[in-house]
Amino acid sequence: MSRADLIQLEGKVTRILGAGIMEVQCDNDIVVRGRLSGRMKKYRIKVLVGDQVQVSVSPYDPTHGLITYRMK
């Protein structure tokens, strides 16, 4: 599956579970466990509770995703 097939959701970080995994409450009341993407780890972008983020979710399993962007 390519990155073009992923669904882009926006939401707010509600909990940090450790090891770069966070719980994100999306705008349409879906809770997603998101992992920081590789570029966010590489450039050491900090994501805290309450931050608005963009999550890429697979259409086959909408409960897990990649956190790809932190909103300003």
| pLDDT on residue 3 | 75
Contact 36, 8 (CB under 8 A): no
* Averaged confidence pLDDT in the chain: 94
Percent share of the chain, pLDDT over 90? 89
- Cα separations (Å) of 44 from 9, 26, 39, 47, 61? 22, 23, 8, 9, 27
Confidence of residue 72 (pLDDT cuts 50, 70, 90): confident
Residue 17 pLDDT greater than 80, yes or no: yes
Average pLDDT over residues 1-21: 91
Residue 4 pLDDT greater than 90, yes or no: no
- Cα separations (Å) of 22 from 1, 2, 5, 8, 62? 23, 23, 22, 16, 15
Instruction: Confirm whether pTM is higher than 0.75.
Output: yes
- Taken in order of first residue, the domains within the chain and their CATH numbers are 3-70 (2.40.50.140)
